[in-house]
Structures are given as C-alpha cells and as structure tokens.
Amino acid sequence: MPRTLPLMSRDDDPPRRSALLSFRFLGTALLGSLVMALVCTFGPLSAQIAVLGAFISILGGLFLSYLAQDDQRECQRTEVIERLTVPLSLAPDREIYAQYLAICQALTELARKDDAILRQTALLKLASIVSQVQSLTGGTIVFSLTESWRMVYEQLLFSPDIRKYRSVAWVKTADYWQDQPGRQSMQVNFEAVHRGVHIERIVVLPHALWPQGQLLPSPDILPWIEEQHNHGLWLTLVRESHLMHEPDLLCDFGIYGDRAVGVQELDAHARTLRFTLEFSAQAVQLAEDRWRRISLYTTSLRCLLDQLPPDA
Amino acid sequence: MRPTQLYLDTARLGRMSPRAQQAHLDFARLAGEEGGSLFFENFLRVGAGDWADETQASYPGLASWRGVGSLKESLRALAISSPGLPVLLANRSAQLMKLAARLLYRPCENVLVTDLGWPPYHDVLAAEAARAGANLTSVPVRDMALHGQAGEDEIVEAILTNYLRQRCDGLFLTAVSHQGVRQPVERLVRSLEAVAEPRFVVIDGSQEFCHVSADLRHEYCDLYLAGCHKWLQAYHPMGLAFYGRRRSRFVIETVLDQLVFKGELDDPLLRFSTQLETDRLDSRTETVNLACLFSCQGAVADALEEPRTPSRSLPRRLDSLTVAAGVAAASGWQPLLPPPAFRTGILLLQAERETSRALPATHLRHAFSERGVALTAYDGGVVRLSMPAQGWQPGELERLQGALRAAS
C-alpha cells in the first residue's frame, strides 16, 4: 500500500499574532501617549517639545543599538557556517569524510581527557600527523623503514594508464632486490611487461660488481640482470664511477608513466630506509631530465652480449 | 577447366617437390599400417636409422627421417643459420607472427615497417602496438622500388631517415615482398646499427627462403620467419622461425614459454615438435597433424641438392624473368620491373589495355588457367608470375606468350 507522507503546510503553523496587539507595543504606546497627553494638558509648549525630543532620541538610540546587535548576530552566524564548510566540502567523498568524522570523534574524546601528560603527548603526535597529511596534500608519500611501499608500486604498475615505466637501479651490493619482497616486485615487473607495459631499466653498478675491463657484470649480479633482459625489459648498464662527477645522477628512482616518481634509499644490506613517492608533473619532468642525463653514459646489455665470443 | 601445363604460382603455393611427394605417400602408407603404434612413435622420435633394410626399402620416402632435431639441422643448413640457434616449427605461421609481434613490442615503442610487407602481418603488428600503447610506422618505398624511381642507396637512406625522424626502435622487414621486390635487409640493419640501436629485428622471409637466399650466418636479425609451402615446395603449410642471434635466444625462449603457458600461443605442432626434440612428451599433448614434418623433410632434401639450391637457381630464375619480361612486353603486358638489385624470381605484369585492367582478378586468373597457365592475378589487370627454377623448358615460353596475348 502506498503511503502518503503528510504535507507540510503553512496552515499547520501556529497563527502569528500581530505585533500591534502585543503587550510590549500596546503598553509602551499607551504609556507614551498618556505622558504626552498630560504634558500637552498641563505643561507649556517648551516642555511639550522637550518631551517629544526625548522620545525621538530614545527611539533613535534603541534603533542603533538594535542594528549593532544584529551585526554581531550576523557575524556569529557566518562563523558557524564557515565551520560547517569543511564537512560540507568533504561530504561528497565518502571515504575521506568517514576518516574526517573518525578523527573529529577521537579529538572530541581526547579533549575530554584532563591528564596533562597524555594531552601533551597527544599534541606532539597530532602535530606529526598534520605534517604527514600536509605532505600527502602536496602529492608526496613517504615510507620509512618499511617495504610496504611495494604495495603502492604494484598498484602503479598495474594501473591501466601506466604504459611506460623507467627505473634507475643503483645497485650497491649483490643483495639488491634479492630478498622476498624484492623478488616479488620483480615478478610484478614481469607481469607488467607481459601485459604490454614498456619497461626500461638503467642499472648503475659499482666497481666490485662490474670491474673495469670486464665485458659483463660479475656473476653475483649478472643472473638478476639477465633474467630481466630475458623477460623483454630493456636493460642498459653504467659504471658508478662514470657518474661520480655528477653526483646528483647517483640515485635510485622510478618514473611511472607521467604520473609519479619514486625515490628509494637503501641501507648497506639493501633494505629500504626510505621510499618517497611523488605524484606531480614537476617531479616527473625533473626525473625525466635526470634519466636523459644518465642515459648518456649507458650501454645496452644487448650490445654487450653481442661482443661475447661465439662459444660463450 | 583444363589441367595446368605451365605452373608459375610458386609465390602463392609451390608444387610439391618429388621427395616431398614420396615422403607424403610413404607416410600415408605407414599411417595405414602402424596407426599410433609404439613402432611409429619410435620412428617419429629417432627416425628410420634402426629399421631393417627391408622396411627401409618399403618406405624409401621416410628412410632419411632421423627425428625432429635432424629436420631442424637441415633447415638451418638451408638458412645458413648457426648450429647453436634453435628453430621453431608450427602448424600456423600466424602463431609465429604473433610471437614475433609480442617480442618486438616488449622492448620497442615504435616499430618500423615498409609498405612492401604482407598486410595481414602488419595487421598483427598494429594490433599488438595498440595493446602495448605503442606505435607502428610504415615507410612507403614500394613505388620507389617497383617503378625504378630509386636505387638501393636511396631506399636505404629513405628508411634510415624515417627511422631516426620517427624515433623508431624496432624493425619488421620483409626480405622479399609478395610482389617480388627484394629489400637489402641485412644492409639496412647494419646501416641502422651504425647510427642507432634497433632493439629487436624481425625479418619476414616467407618469399625469400629457398628462393633468393636466407643467409643468417652473420646474425643480423633476432628472428627470421619463413614457411614450407612456397619456394621450399613441401606443399603442406608449416611455419618456421629461426632464432637469428645468440643475444636474443633466451629472450625468445622466455617469452615463448610465457605465451604457451598462458595459452596465448596455441599451436599443437609448436609444442609437440619441441617435446619430440627434447624427448619430453607429456600425456596432455593434443593430437597433431604430422604430415607436414615428413613432406618438409623430403622437400629439404630436394632443396639441398646442388641444382636446386637458391644460389644456383636464382640466376636461372633472373634470366627467365628477363626473357619473360621481353615476351610480355611484346604481348600487350607491361612488366613492372624494379631495378636489378631489387629483382627476384617473381615478375609482375600489368595489362596495357584498359578493358583488361578492369577485369576482376578471378576472371584474369581463369583466363590464364584456360590456356594451361597457373599464376596469381590481382585487380587492376596485374598478374604475378613465379619463375621456374630450371629456366624455361621447350614450349613453355610459347605457351606463356599465347596466354598473355589471349588475356590482354
């Protein structure tokens, strides 16, 4: 059965009484009229004018004070509306709005706590969170001392709009990307290249892994490089010593289409110290420029393999 | 319809060579006798080497079969390919072309082709380019080559300029076009290597293999595609892919394994022949038509015999082409002759009369067939003649002239 909701009607509102019939108006008007009538009956003309002037002045004062109060009320109303604009602008984005509500709720609860140490610690933590959120707003995500950046890396390589991925692998030790997360990321590379993503990688190698005078890198790292080559990635190599006089080129980074740039910093055991992901056109442009400069020093692996003797 | 007296359609489908016929017939008899017996399986794997003399005499066409590995060795000898480089065999050439396209577009973002290529192969490349969000650049050289507007240097220069200007990084070249124009593919690749670095090079040698020369000894390309049913004259279609360079051997193997594993490359012979060669047959292999293997073995034996090798037969074909062009010019047909450096054993002729040019290709083909001549016909009054390997035999030129006059 369809149900009909009762319509809102102006007739349902309680009838508004005219201001002319209110006690405030009638009482004041009658009292004023009585005073003026008495002054007109018993007082001289000058007294009548003085009383009339006083009444008009009182009326003017009241009007001005009403205007001042109205201004104040308007300011307060505007302030309240401004506070509401944040949730109003966030409301269409459900996921972020849910986070906003959760943070507001937690902050409200936190504000009720009166332990001074708790409050001080909370404020310090909150300041750090604000800084991180502001960094996110600028398109930068920083992962410190964790390999969890690889999840975002995977997402990027699997996004349909990323057709090209260029990376510079600054291999300082043979452990580079040899642990479980590293090997998994390499599988993601192979899957991506199979789906049609064009992957180019420049491998920067130190003397220990590619001694001067040797055609190919040492067996400690060569299988890792050859595996990528065999999967159809375009590999080029450069000796670390060739980039020494341009130290800003010694960097481990990746360019994900024209969308983002990731910079990896590793410790001595090739574990991630920090991975910074920047989603900005400017960062991509700068990384591309750096890529072009490094490319000037590189040699393709194919070219090196061609120089192997026939029986190798 | 009359039987054919003069077969000039090898560029489309070669006539079955004598040893290929013998092998085919004997294979049919062996299949009739043995079916899928263990004796047959053993023969398939290791060949007829351990057969008794009597059995060998019963099946002379199969007596030289020594397994898939041996067939591949013979094919490598025909292509002058390094012994250490593998050869792939497939029922369908299109599957090998799919593999080539995949291999090209892994490292390359812009592959260069010329308009001398086989259009269906270019379609495969275009589809792969679209999948990878990459480009396919086509350079027009056909008119320059076919109408003698440019020499070899000019063609190489045109391709080189376009390669650099369009920022290409891969090559798919047709060694001999289906219209009979020969491209200097090795010279082209070497010229490009001097100024840029092609990341992957595939050569379509369908019309070159066993016709002009498929000389892969200098490892100038990564993959070389060919087939058995044209100039090799095995008749049964079988696709061939020769690995061209040591440096890309494992790239091809890795990509091939991936495509087969994911079911994106599905050719029963490709899988089965590799298993046979490595003696690792699995129980899940589907039933494969093997007739093409034996006819190929017979045809290869014929092709390796001295009078029929490309190096010996090509000069004769070129002489025949010059003679045929003269006969055609005197019979109402205009020979479309490229400069000598681009010529092969394929001759294109165009009817001079407008009425003949307006004829549909099928009508033209029938007109020649009624006079005992088999050839390929195209719209626009164009016919393609494949020159005979042994040169013109007595009476053949007269027959051709008669047919040309009648069809003009």
So where are chain B's domains?
68-303, 308-407
Together in a domain, A51 and A173: no
DSSP state of B246: G
Does the pLDDT at position A6 exceed 60?
no
Domain B308-407, CATH: 3.90.1150.10
Q: What is the largest CA-CA distance in chain B?
A: 66
Closest C-alpha to B348, from B325, B372, B323: B325
Q: What span, in angstroms and rounded, lies between the C-alpha atoms of B95 and B204? A: 13
Instruction: Give the pLDDT of residue A97.
Output: 87
What is the share, in percent, of chain B residues with pLDDT greater than 90? Answer: 80
User: Minimal Cα distance from B264: which residue of A?
Assistant: A194
Domain that holds residue A109: 95-137
Under DSSP, the state recorded for A268 is T
Examine the domain organization and report whether A114 and A200 are in the same domain: no
Closest listed residue to residue A200, CA positions, set A249, A248, A256, A158:
A256
Same-domain pairing of A167 and A276: yes
Residues A201 and A240 placed together within one structural domain of the fold: yes
Whether residue A11 is predicted with pLDDT greater than 70 in this model: the reply is: no
Per CB-CB distance under 8 Å, the chain B contacts of A292 are none
Look at residue A14 in the predicted model and tell me its pLDDT.
Answer: 62
- Residues of chain B with Cβ-Cβ distance to A300 below 8 Å are 197, 199
φ, ψ of residue B40 in degrees (nearest 5): -65, -45
Cross-strand pairs, A200: A166, A234
Indicate whether A17 belongs to any domain.
no
Q: In which band, very low, low, confident or very high, does the pLDDT at B291 lie, cut at 50, 70 and 90?
A: very high
Sequence-distant (6+) residues with CB within 8 A of A217 are A203, A205, A209, A210, A225, A237
Query: Residue B120 in contact with residue B93, Cβ under 8 Å?
Result: no
Cβ–Cβ under 8 Å, residues B203 and B173:
yes
Report which of A67, A36, A37 is spatially closest to residue A53, judged by C-alpha positions: A36
DSSP string covering B72-100: HHHHHHHHT--TTS-EEEES-HHHHHHHH
Angle subtended by helix axes B18-34 and B291-303, to nearest 10:
150
My answer on whether A99 and A189 are in the same domain is: no
Q: Give a yes or no: residue A90 inside a domain.
A: no
| B299, pLDDT greater than 90 | yes
Please give the pLDDT value at position B29: 96
* A15 falls within a domain: no
Across the interface, whether the CB atoms of B133 and A196 are under 8 A apart is answered yes
> What value does the mean pLDDT of chain A take?
87
| Mutant choice from B247, B249, B265 vs A, greatest count of A C-beta within 10 A | B247
Calculate mean pLDDT across residues B350-373.
93
Q: Is B248 on the interface with A (CB under 8 A)?
A: yes
Question: Is B109 in contact with A198 (Cβ distance < 8 A)?
Answer: yes
Flag whether pLDDT at A8 surpasses 70: no
Residues B246-276 have pLDDT tens digits of: 889 999 999 999 999 998 998 999 988 888 8
The answer to whether residues A159 and A277 belong to one domain is yes
In angstroms, the separation between the Cα of residue A204 and the nearest Cα of chain B is 19
Question: Which of A66, A85, A104 represents a domain boundary (last residue)?
Answer: A85
In a domain, A2, yes or no: no
For residue A224, what pLDDT is reported? 96
Q: Which residue has the tokens 């910074």?
A: A276
Dihedral over alpha carbons B178, B180, B186, B191 (to 10 degrees)? -100
Q: Are the beta carbons of B162 and B112 closer than 8 angstroms? A: yes
Residue A4 pLDDT more than 70? no
Contact B131 A229 (CB under 8 A): no
Whether chain A has a CB inside 8 Å of the CB on B393: the answer is no
User: And the tokens for B322?
Assistant: 């010059």
Pair (A126, A199) in one structural domain? no
B318–A contact, CB cutoff 8 A: no
Query: Would you state the structure tokens that stand for residue A219, as one six-digit string?
Result: 């067996």
The answer to whether residues A45 and A176 belong to one domain is no
Mean pLDDT of B368-387: 95
In a shared domain, residues A70 and A126: no
**pLDDT score of A269:** 79
Please, what is the average pLDDT of chain B? 93
Tell me, yes or no, whether A222 and A258 share the same domain: yes
pLDDT tens-place string over residues B133-186: 999 999 999 988 887 778 888 999 999 999 999 999 999 999 999 999 999 999
Fold of B68-303: Aspartate Aminotransferase; domain 2 (3.40.640)
In a domain, A16, yes or no: no
Q: Is any Cβ of chain B less than 8 angstroms from the Cβ of A308?
A: yes
Can you point out the beta strands (E) in B107-235? 110-114, 135-139, 170-174, 200-204, 223-227
At A272, phi and psi to the nearest 5?
A: -70, 125
| A268 lies in some domain | yes
Tell how far CA B231 is from the center of its chain. 7
Residue A155 near chain B (CB below 8 Å) = no
Confidence of residue A312 (pLDDT cuts 50, 70, 90): low
Are residues A75 and A176 both part of a single domain? no
CATH number of the domain at A264, please. Answer: 3.30.870.10
Instruction: Pick the closest to residue A254 from A287, A227, A295, A280 (CA basis).
Output: A287
Q: What is the mean pLDDT of residues A151-175?
A: 92
A183 shares contact with chain B (CB less than 8 Å):
no
Q: State the pLDDT at residue A9.
A: 44
Out of B134, B197, B254, closest to residue A231 by CB: B254
ipTM over 0.90: no
What was the pLDDT predicted at B238? 96
Task: Specify if A70 maps to a domain.
Answer: yes
Domains contained in chain A, number: 3
Q: Touching check for A243 and chain B: CB below 8 Å?
A: no
CB contact under 8 A, A163 and B199: no
CA angle A295, A297, A301 (to 5 degrees): 80
Over 70: is that where the pLDDT of A15 sits? no
Q: How confident is the model at residue B397 (pLDDT cuts 50, 70, 90)?
A: very high
Which pLDDT score, from 0 to 100, does residue A7 have?
Answer: 45
Let me know if residue A153 belongs to a domain.
yes
Q: What is the mean pLDDT of residues A110-127?
A: 90
Residues A180 and A251 in one domain: yes
